[in-house]
Amino acid sequence: MTPPGPFRPSFWRSPLRGPWLTALLGSVLLVLVTIVAVTGFLSHAAYQPDLAGNAIVDPGRDLPLSFTWPAGWSYLYAVTQGLHVNVGLVAIPFLLAKLWSVIPRLFAWPPAASPAQALERLSIGLLVASSVFQFVTGVMNIQYWYAFRFNFVVAHYYGAIVFVASLALHIVVKMPVIVRAYRERGAARSDLVALSPADPTISRRGLFAVVGAGSLALLLANVGETVGGPFRRLSLLAPRRQVIGPGPNDFQVNKTARAAGISADMTGPRYRLALRSGGRELSLAREELLAMEQHTATLPIACVEGWTTTQEWTGVRLADLARAAGAGAPDGALVRSLQQHGPLRIVTLNGPQARHPDALLALKVNGADLSPDHGYPARIIVPGLPGVHNTKWVGSIEFA
């Protein structure tokens, strides 16, 4: 016997539910989450996890998806990661609407009429769990709320694999239903259509307008931290919306010197940059770096959390430092920070990144010395690189 309440088909009364609405919401959602998933895996590749010090997910337990991340276009990571975060936010209302549109199925009775249906319900469970998990952890991470107390990168990465696998399966399994829903539109018969519908208070078109308005609101509330400039302040709820001040160093800090454990003693007159190549080592004071040929480039720092800040950097080309250290055109560079603890204080740049004419060991920003929070005495800035790989408080560089 069917249990009472939501297990009875008559419980569900919205006149809007039906296969056509679900198919349409699902199609929009598919386009959005495809952008989010592709840019997410691109971000994983952009960290170049195959090079020393870069991997956060154990390389022995990773998919073989990495490739040489190019340095040719300085806004590459700003665009891919800006899309990841902002399109992710846009997708949330569509995900909620999609889940709403199929909620009667959760209470289908009997729970499974055949082995096929049991298997399908298991895979739907994985899809719902992984999609909600990905959005919840992503949204918490961009706002630094680590209440989950697990490694975000590892969980979000394997969560993404579960999500993509169960989503692909869902599309294959549902394709005949989707095709029929589009062909028959309102005439399609389905258990999603209410048996005794209530009077409508909104049309299906109205529902789409409301969901789209929700997406637009989330986008506008955040996107200013990605595009920057005058738009930054206009995004009223973006975590990185603050315009800090008019000074040359008044822009967003990913990690303060204090949080990184950098003291004035480490960066004072005692500071020397160590350059290594082959067996040779060269030690340079900051004054000696300033005496080398200086180059200026306008480059963004693009954070994995989706915010970007573009500044004018001045310093020594990494290629010139490689030559000074006795290396030719470098095939890569292993950069160590003075930072003693914390992740990613050792980072390896690939060949195109180390050789790029705008790839700098920056000493100044917007004409002034770097502030302690922005990496004084010297920091890396490379076109198209994930923000956190632009190592601050550089202690040594080893050229390959």
> From the CB of residue 62, how many other CB atoms can be counted at a distance below 10 Å?
16
Using CB under 8 A as the binding rule, the residues of this chain from 214 to 233 that contact other proteins are 214, 217-218, 221
Task: Return the residue of 72, 145, 293, 367 that touches other proteins, per CB under 8 A.
Answer: 145
d(CA 99, CA 105): 10
Site string for other proteins, 180-209 (x = CB under 8 A): -------------------x-xx---x---
Strand pairing report for 308-317 and 360-365: antiparallel
Using CB under 8 A as the binding rule, the residues of this chain from 363 to 392 that contact other proteins are 373
> From the CB of residue 73, how many other CB atoms can be counted at a distance below 10 Å?
11
Task: Return the residue of 7, 11, 100, 182 that touches other proteins, per CB under 8 A.
Answer: 100
Binding segment (CB under 8 A) for other proteins, from list 158-166, 321-329, 348-356, 362-370: 158-166
Using CB under 8 A as the binding rule, the residues of this chain from 101 to 140 that contact other proteins are 103, 106, 113-117, 119-120, 122-123, 125-126, 128-133, 136-137, 139-140
C-beta of residue 259 within 8 angstroms of C-beta of residue 388: no
d(CA 242, CA 271): 32
Q: Which is nearer to other proteins, 109 or 148 (CB)?
A: 148
C-beta of residue 117 within 8 angstroms of C-beta of residue 191: no
Q: Which is nearer to other proteins, 94 or 313 (CB)?
A: 94
Q: Which is nearer to other proteins, 61 or 189 (CB)?
A: 61
Task: Return the residue of 2, 31, 61, 189 that touches other proteins, per CB under 8 A.
Answer: 61
Task: Return the residue of 38, 45, 96, 324 that touches other proteins, per CB under 8 A.
Answer: 96
Tokens of 346: 């050792």
Site string for other proteins, 73-92 (x = CB under 8 A): ----------------x--x
> From the CB of residue 314, how many other CB atoms can be counted at a distance below 10 Å?
20
d(CA 130, CA 94): 16
Question: Which of 249, 359, 360, 283 minimizes the C-alpha distance to 315?
Answer: 360
Using CB under 8 A as the binding rule, the residues of this chain from 323 to 362 that contact other proteins are none
C-beta of residue 4 within 8 angstroms of C-beta of residue 186: no
